[in-house]
Structure 1
Amino acid sequence: MTTMTLPVIGAALPVDALPEYRDWLFDKDRDLEVQSFHDPELLRGDGWRDVAERARDLLAGFNGRLGIHGPFVGLSLNAPDPDVRAIVTRRLMTGLDACGVLDARQMVVHSPYTTWDHHNLDGHPGVRDDVIAQVHATLASVVRRAEDQGVTLVMENIEDVDPAERLRLVDSFGSDALKLSIDTGHAHYAHGITRAGPVDHFVRAAGAGLAHVHLQDADGYADRHWAIGRGTIRWHEVFRALADLPQRPHLVLELRDVADVRPSMRWLEAHGLGQ
């Protein structure tokens, strides 16, 4: 594989880190995910708008694919309480407001499936359908607005054990405005702790529905967000599975320490996996 065919890797960054990485982002029109729209206090008022406008100004002239991480702290997509669902929907609509300011075309949302769900969805008749119905009650209006706005929501695995459950949920909406996201560290945690398949199996299970990937390394025990190469993920298999996809999902380094972006890129480049 030559350098010209290697996937171009981007990053998930808070707004405060954009000046430091601006030249790196612009040099290859890298994928960017702005990660400053999760603080509940910021989302309750209009503070998010100042953050979005600052990001927009810092990214003037940017030609890469742009997304944000949507609100997620304490927000469950399958809350059974209608009052709670209304709050979750409102927060996600604020995320779409931020996308509008930035002209962002993707927004990450979190999967509702837990480890508990994996072991209990078949415990009583209709539980699996109930989860899907509750997510529709929360997300249907958000998906419709995303369609109108030209934004794709991408649903990230969190505790997911069986990737087919999330695929079934996403497919139930029948909308191109809702696709799949994979977080490699979350998948590796599920592999190590809950006996889920390895990360490359998550990629292959997502197939043509995969639109976004968080790249982070981990040890299969916890959600580490380490620099690539520090953990135990089989990266060559992951990138082989990505190369077999019929589409090119957003690929962003999502690291606990943004200073690890450049060391991660050096590792990927040295192993002939990305540029």
Structure 2
Amino acid sequence: MAKTLPLLGAALSLDMFAHHHDWILGDQRDLELQSFCWPNTSQAELQQMLTRAQGLLEGHTGRRGLHGPFTGFSLDCADPEIVTVIQDRMLRTLECCAALGADQMVIHSPYTMWKESDLQANPASGFIQIERVRFVLTPVIARAETLGVTLVIENCEDLNPALRVELAARLKSERVRVSLDTGHAQFMHRRLGAPPVDAFIGAAGGALEHVHLQDVDGYGDRHWHPGEGSIAWHSVFKALGRLPKMPRLILEVNDERGLLKGARHLIESGLAR
């Protein structure tokens, strides 16, 4: 029996969800809404956005997620006053998840080249960093558990693909797993010698529940359509196929209007549908 190809989903603003509405609902694709993570959205504006999103989601039976807040902070923040702001932002987005029937929220890894180098020079800093993340996320995880939302930690400037996987495990919650951004991994591979994208997938293993699909040339975080950069997509999908469970595959490109260009590349390559 032929193996069923994985189904592509998309990360979209509300405007671009409306634009690609038929494509998403036609095959009930997974959806990640990215309009609810910005710090400058007022409560009144947020309610209007939720109402609009609920209307657009009528008839959608695919899985849903939201991108969580990330602007202007790191998960290992050591300033307790700023931690309160971070927690408030994340808790607000979790309530948006509940209102929209979303069961995933993407958050960003705290690891950087600087911090990873410090782990090697001073191993105690690793323990401190994890405990800082625990302090920031404890009320967020508790609320996520109540709502049935899984927090997925996305690699950004990560060099060692195992660190955020270990971080997720150390937080000791069934509602904390990991995400992979293919472009971020490729950027760190080409610029700073991190392992290739398929090695990030292997390191995550069964903890990988979400993937951002985007392509880069290795120079910057391009968010190009798959096929426009240097990622070896066959190796990526081969690694994904070895996982015990296929994660959500979410196209995340800057050219949201042209989203179907990258989708067609992967579909015509026989990698997805």
What TM-score, normalized to structure 1?
A: 0.96
SS at match of 2:227: coil
CA–CA distance in 1 between the matches of 2:258 and 2:207? 29
What does the per-residue CA deviation read over 1:89-140, in whole Å, with 9 as the maximum and x for residues that have no partner?
1100011011011011100000011111121113235100010000000001
Instruction: Give the corresponding residue for 1:184.
Output: 182
Q: CA deviation at 1:193?
A: 1.1
Aligned runs of 1:41-190 on 2, under 5 Å? 41-42=40-41, 45-190=43-188
Mark the runs of 5 or more structure 1 residues left unpaired by the alignment: none
Q: CA deviation at 1:266?
A: 1.2
CA–CA distance in 2 between the matches of 1:7 and 1:260? 21
Q: Retained in 2: the 8 A contact 1:38–1:71? A: yes
Paired amino acid for 1:216: Q
Instruction: Give the corresponding residue for 1:25.
Output: 24
Q: Retained in 2: the 8 A contact 1:53–1:101? A: no
Q: Retained in 1: the 8 A contact 2:66–2:105? A: yes
Q: Retained in 1: the 8 A contact 2:16–2:257? A: no
CA–CA distance in 2 between the matches of 1:52 and 1:184? 29
Q: Runs ≥4 in structure 1, deviation > 6 angstroms?
A: none
CA–CA distance in 1 between the matches of 2:239 and 2:165? 17
Paired amino acid for 2:22: D
Number of corresponding residues: 273
SS at match of 1:40: coil
Paired amino acid for 1:41: N
What TM-score, normalized to structure 2?
A: 0.97
What does the per-residue CA deviation read over 1:209-252, in whole Å, with 9 as the maximum and x for residues that have no partner?
00000000001121000011000000000000111111121111
Identical-pair percentage: 45
- Measured on the aligned residues, the alpha-carbon RMSD in Å equals 1.3
Q: Retained in 2: the 8 A contact 1:160–1:190? A: yes
Q: CA deviation at 1:163?
A: 1.2
